[in-house]
Amino acid sequence: MSNKSYKKVDASRVSISQLMQPSHSNFGGKIHGGYILNLMDQIAFACASKHSETYCVTASVDTVDFLNPIEIGELVTMKASVNFVGNTSMVVGIRVESENIQTGAVKHCNSSYFTMVAKDENGDSKKVPGLILNDMNEVKRFLKAIKRMETKKQRQSEFDSEDFSHIDYLPLLEKYKVKIELPEQFN
């Protein structure tokens, strides 16, 4: 790795575009979400590897909401940047847009956050450079990443707690389309 202890977000920003073909479609005639996730994983790898200057692996994927379908023949563009760095991990934000190349209409299809971990040649986690934030958008993305991590830890802590009782949450189920039919010993 280079001697740089901090790198600008722009130094590892990556963008790819690909024309969507019939072979990428699902049974409904739209581009298969799994195919898009595969491309997103590739761009997250490229972005994180550029920042860390080493091999990276995907540790988790957060918030994949498919907002708009992608049609065959549209040009899909993915933009990735490092939004947050920890000791050995990076959160890569990815924005996916599709463009109808005949009309020029552009749709935001999804945004997602991939947590990538830098690895050395032995497969051990490796420290990554810090991040230089150059504008308020970059600051906002860094802070949002922190908030998402805190929320995730809080949720995991609540669910893993020995005090967690499903009985306390049963009233919440009244507004959902669910029936509970437990054997007597569970009531």
The reply to whether 33 falls in a domain is: yes
* pLDDT at residue 91 in the model: 98
**Closest Cα to residue 50, out of 18, 82, 91?**
82
The reply to whether 110 falls in a domain is: yes
Q: Look up the pTM and report it.
A: 0.88
The reply to whether 86 falls in a domain is: yes
Each of the 187 residues of the chain gets a pLDDT tens digit; together they read: 444 799 999 999 999 999 999 999 999 999 999 999 999 999 999 999 999 999 999 999 998 999 999 999 999 999 999 999 999 999 999 999 999 999 999 999 999 999 999 999 999 999 999 999 999 999 999 999 999 999 999 988 888 887 777 777 888 888 999 988 878 765 5
Taking the C-alpha atoms of residue 123 and residue 106, their distance in angstroms, rounded to an integer, is 40
**Closest Cα to residue 39, out of 125, 102, 138, 110?**
110
Q: What single string gives the DSSP state of each residue in 83-106? A: EEE-SSEEEEEEEEEEE-TTT--E
Query: What is the number of structural domains in the chain?
Result: 1
Print the domain residue range for 153.
6-164
The reply to whether 103 falls in a domain is: yes
The reply to whether 169 falls in a domain is: no
Q: Please give the DSSP secondary-structure letter assigned to residue 156.
A: H
CATH number at residue 50: 3.10.129.10
Structure tokens at 19: 């024309």
The reply to whether 171 falls in a domain is: no
- pLDDT tens-place string over residues 131-168: 999 999 999 999 999 999 999 999 888 888 877 777 77
* pLDDT at residue 34 in the model: 96
* pLDDT at residue 164 in the model: 77
The reply to whether 178 falls in a domain is: no
The reply to whether 117 falls in a domain is: yes
Residue 72 to residues 16, 33, 45, 63, 103, Cα–Cα distance (Å) = 17, 13, 25, 24, 14
Query: Using CA atoms in the order 153, 82, 144, 160, what is the torsion angle rounded to 10 degrees?
Result: -10
Taking the C-alpha atoms of residue 40 and residue 113, their distance in angstroms, rounded to an integer, is 10
* pLDDT at residue 1 in the model: 43
